[in-house]
Amino acid sequence: MRYAVSLRRAGAVKIAGVREGPGSAERHEECRTASGTSQSIGHVTDIATTSLKDSLAREARALGFDSLGITDPDAITGVRERLDAFLAAGAHGQMDWLADNPGRRADPKVMWADVRSVIMLGVNYGPDENPLAILAQRSNAAISVYAQGDDYHDLIKKRLKLLARWLIAQAGGDVKVFVDTAAVMEKPLAQAAGLGWQGKHTNLVSREFGSWLFLGAIFTTLELPRDAAVADHCGSCQACLDICPTAAFPAPYQLDARRCISYLTIENKGPIPREFRKAIGNRIYGCDDCLAACPWNKFAQAGREIKLAARDELRAPGLGELSRLDDAQFRAMFTKSPVKRIGRDRFIRNVLIAIGNSGDATLVREVERLLDDDSALVRGAAVWALSELGPVNEFQARMAIAASAETDAGVRNEWSDAIA
């Protein structure tokens, strides 16, 4: 997830210092003119602003951005109603931060009253191989394309800061920078800015880059020429809906995150619901199925940023090897990776679900070892994996020993449910 919706909690930093009130859940990146006051170029001629926009696009390209568009902060009409319906249905699951101040999330001017233009930027992270091929290698782990390289937040944030400083040096004004770290609805804004359109899987689709774009935003007090919004080009196709293993799309353009494998393996903090475990297969962090199925990917190209390229050790790591990671080893292996943020216990939970789906009896010993793990979350997943792999008589014998000593009610339920 990439994600079918933006599933990440608001973060906060600032270029010239942190501006955040007591208890603030969000921060932003901010640049000011050298004088520290806001300036506007609203009085400048259309020719001058057009030239500035062209120069901005060239600078963005030189910094590694692959697409740029500009829109009005009022351009995303109707978003509030769709967000309210999503939240009212409970489709956001445990992501309570999505429900925090929806008016702020749906309207850039509530986020920042002085914003006059929204610059949307995209970085292509297209894979160099078919991301669905790994799903057939059941004893190996499938990690979402976006998480196989370095964390894009850090990379794009630095480039947004550089571009923001360049813009201020050229034209003045105030600028705030966001990269999936605040209450900003990047995908509707990106569609309004002409970068692509939100497909039936709710992700942005680009004619040039398919479904593989990271998004960042620059809010500015400058009046800049707008780009035309992109029309929907999905037509009658619903490949992204049909391929979803867990039926996470109740209708086109609607997502129930509670059924999404990206949500289940990343945002979900507890046990993975039993109804989805088999469908997860060997996906241990995120899911690319709906993205990869899009026919517009035939025009996509591999990303040009080496830091976002897949690390060899994360393309198809063995499940047995991953199951043996302790906390220090997990942190070392996923340094600079977005995978690191879910922590070792949730990661091993995911690995155990994949092991249970692998059909690989050689992994039974790894599972048995984790029945004694310090984490109840891990122990519960190990019980399920063992019930899927081990012979019934051996499972029952192990249950007679372990279940009676288990102190966690959830893990005891896993034992009883496994033989129900």
- Catalytic amino acids? 180
- Strand-pairing partners, residue 219, are 118, 176
DSSP-H helix ranges across 120-212: 152-171, 186-192
Angstrom CA distances, 158 to 70, 83, 168, 389, stand at: 20, 30, 16, 46
Pairing of strands 204-205, 197-198: antiparallel
How far apart are alpha carbons 288 and 119 in whole angstroms? 27
Q: How many CB atoms lie within 10 A of CB 389?
A: 22
**H helix or E strand, kind and range, residue 79:** helix 79-88
Burial 283-312 (b: 16+ CB within 10 A, else e): bbbbbbbbbbbbebbeebeebebeebbbee
CB 70, CB 227: distance < 8 Å = yes
How far apart are alpha carbons 235 and 199 in whole angstroms? 10
Q: Give 326's contacts (C-beta < 8 A, 6+ positions apart).
A: 344
- Strand-pairing partners, residue 122, are 67, 215
Query: 84 burial class (0-12, 13-18, 19+ CB within 10 angstroms)?
Result: middle
CB 159, CB 59: distance < 8 Å = no
Q: How far is CA 385 from the centre of its chain?
A: 27
